[in-house]
Each structure stands twice: as structure tokens, then as C-alpha cells.
Amino acid sequence: MDTEEEKEEQEIEQELDQDQNEVAIINDENLHSKAHGIIICIVLFIMAMVVLRLLPVMLRSFALELSWVWNSVIAYSILLILSIVFALALRQPLGKVFPFKKLEGLMFTGSLFTFLAMWCFSFVINILSIFLIPFSNNQTTESLFQLAIDFPLWVGIIAIGLLPGVVEELLCRGTMLYALRPLNRDWHRILIVGLLFGFMHGSISQIAYASVLGMGFAYIVIKTNNLFYPIFWHFSINSLSTTLMHFFARVLRDMQQVTQNTPTQTPAFDDLFSSTMMVSTLGYILSLALTGLSVGILFLLVGVRRLNRLTKEEAKQSKRRRRVKILAIVILIVAIASMFGSCALMVAEILM
């Protein structure tokens, strides 16, 4: 009897030891996957920055003077290959790293409102950056204007809309976001991927608004597990910007041709820089920023509610959401009123 009991005790101890070893192995795997994911993100980000920033310089060193469009095609082709290679390094099926599913009405509208909210916040950042840092967008704007003048519209849509919209989403919201899955909180993944996406862009203002858009796209992917939504909205906003830039570039070129053939008179701008005009201009910019902020908050509330499918836990937070909505509406009313007031002051100052 004693020998049988001893054997049973030994078997139980062995099972406990095995369980403890399995737990230790699982913890080691989790720690390794965290470090592995972070390393993949950092290395992939550095390589992306090298490709986007130094590729034209490297091509020129080999006596290859290519246009901006061909540089963009080559760069994004390399980034596409890198995103797939690093996705394979995660040792997961590509369908998990790059999830594509059927569209759902609720998820589509939720992603739409979330995208509109991020666009409003980005609009606010652009307005403030133009006012506070007036030369922050000069280089990017000049290159886009040159592209709009030198190439047809469809070339710009492919080079600025389609290629970045697809490749950057596969890179950032695909490989990078999946690599950070072991992180405990989703907002950590959203913040890291958004900031990395922002720093892949150029100037200070671009980093700011691209980070906001990147966080919104990451949130959409986490909630929907579908890369189609951020790809579609990314392509849409880039294509719209390209189309508007193409239109304004043509208009400005025609205006310059007309002004070159007609005598011009230098207007007296001294009165435009009076204290009243400066105050009204500042008020108009701030009210415009507040309008974009409040509208973005309202859009975000609708988008988050739809992407989360109105669960019971969210229903308990309805009071908080209602307060935020009321606050956003109040800010919107005040901003619109101040905008009209600023416009009235500017018109009155000009007429006087």
C-alpha cells in the first residue's frame, strides 16, 4: 500500500512539475514574441525610412536620374516586398497578417465615421501648422504641384493614391500591427503603429496629421480585422488630395500666364495687416480649428459606437458619451458663431 501511495505522489509531483515547465515555456514564448514583434517593427521602420528617403540619392549615385513617379514606383515595390518578407518572419499565415474579409454594412459605416473623425483632427492640425509653421509644407506642396503639372491625373492617382494606400497599409496596419499583437493593450499597438506611420512622412505637420490618421486606421483594423477599410479610405483621401492639387495647379498655371500678359498694379496691403485684421484672422483660424475638432468628436462617437456593435458595456457608458456629445455640439455652435463674427470683422475692415 505504501509503495502504491508513494507512486501516486510521485506521479502527481511529476505532473505538477510538467505543468510548471509548460507555464514557464509559454511565458518565455510570450516574452520572446513581444521582443520579436518590437524588433520587427523597428527594423522594418528603419528600412522603410531608408527606402523612402535615400533611394533617389542612391539611384543618382548610379547615374540614374528618374522622375518622381518612377522613384515612387520603385520605392513602394521594395516596401511591398519587405512587408511580405517580414510577415513571413512572424511564422504565421499571410491571411492572418493581412486579413481581408467580406464587407459588412455596420463595419463599413463605422470605419467611415472613424475615418472622417481622424480627417477632421488632421484638418485641425494642418490649419494650426499653416498658421504657426507657415513653411512646414512648402517642399511637399511644391513636389505635388510639379507632379500635377508634369503628369496626367491618372498617373498621380496611381503614384500617390493607389501605391501608398495599398503598400503603407500592408506595411503598417498589416505586418507592424500584427507583430505587436503580444502587447497587452490595444491602445499601445495603436499608438506605436500610428507614430511610426507618422514619422515615415516628411515635415513636422505631416508627421502630426499622418500619426493621427495612422492611429485611426489601426483602430479600424483592430475592430474589424479587415485591411480593406483602411486601404480604401487611405486611397480615397490621397486620390482626393491629388485631384484637388491637379485642379488648382492647372488653374494657377493659367492665372500666371494671364498675369504675365497683362500689366499689374501692386495693391496696398498695409491696411490688411492692421491690428483688427490680425485679430479677426486669428479668430477665424481658431474658430475653424474648433469646428473641425467638434465635428471630429461627433464623428468619432458614431464610429466607435458602430465598430463596437453597441455591447452592454458600452450601453452603460451612454451617459458619458451623451455628455461628450453635448460638449462637442456646444463647441461647434460657439466655433461657427465666432467664425461668422471673424468673417464680419475682416469684411468690415476691408471695406473701411
Which of 13-17, 31-35, 122-126, 290-294 is least confident?
13-17
Q: Indicate the length of the chain as a whole number.
A: 352
**The whole model's pTM is what?**
0.79
**Beta-carbon count within 10 A of 168 CB:** 27
Return the pLDDT at 28: 40
Sign (positive or negative) of CA dihedral 329, 332, 337, 340: negative
CA distance 192 to 182: 13
- pLDDT given at position 349: 55
Please state the φ and ψ torsions of residue 181, each to the nearest 5 degrees: -55, -35
Q: Is residue 31 very low, low, confident or very high in pLDDT (cuts 50, 70, 90)?
A: very low
For position 266, what pLDDT does the model report? Answer: 43
- DSSP sequence for 172-240: IIIIIHHHTTTSS-HHHHHHHHHHHHHHTSSSHHHHHHHHHHHHHHHHHHHHH--THHHHHHHHHHHHH
- Say whether pLDDT at 16 is over 60: no
Residue 73 has pLDDT above 50, yes or no: yes
Residue with cell 505538477: 16
Burial 229-268 (b: 16+ CB within 10 A, else e): bbbbbbbebbbeebbebbeebeeeeeeeeeeeeeeeeeee
Q: What is the pLDDT of residue 30?
A: 45
Q: Tell me how far apart the alpha carbons of residues 195 and 280 are, in angstroms, rounded to a whole number.
A: 34
Strands of 55-147, DSSP E: none
Q: Which residue has the higher pLDDT, 150 or 92?
A: 92
Report the pLDDT value the prediction gives residue 8, as an integer from 0 to 100. 57
Predicted local confidence at residue 77, as pLDDT: 93
pLDDT value at 1 more than 70: no
Q: What is the grid cell recorded at 88?
A: 513571413
pLDDT, average across residues 218-244: 92
Contact 201, 135 (CB under 8 A): no
Average per-residue pLDDT for the chain? 76
Q: pLDDT, tens digit, for every residue of 301-340?
A: 888 888 887 655 554 566 666 777 777 777 777 777 766 6
Q: Which of 156, 196, 39, 169 is nearest to 111 (CA)?
A: 169
Please report the pLDDT score of residue 156 as a whole number. 83
Higher pLDDT, 74 or 202: 74
Please state the rounded mean pLDDT for residues 32-59: 83
Phi and psi dihedrals of 55, rounded to 5? -60, -50
Q: Of 330 and 278, which is predicted with more confidence?
A: 330
The answer to whether 233 touches 303, Cβ cutoff 8 Å, is no
> What is the per-residue pLDDT across 280-304, written as a single tens digit (0 to 9) for each?
566 667 777 778 888 888 888 888 8
Positive/negative CA dihedral, 52, 57, 62, 64: positive
Q: Are 339 and 295 in contact (CB under 8 A)?
A: no
Whether pLDDT at 181 is above 80: yes
Q: Which amino acid is at 279?
A: V
- C-alpha cell recorded at residue 348: 468690415
How confident is the model at residue 40, as a pLDDT?
87
What was the pLDDT predicted at 117? 92
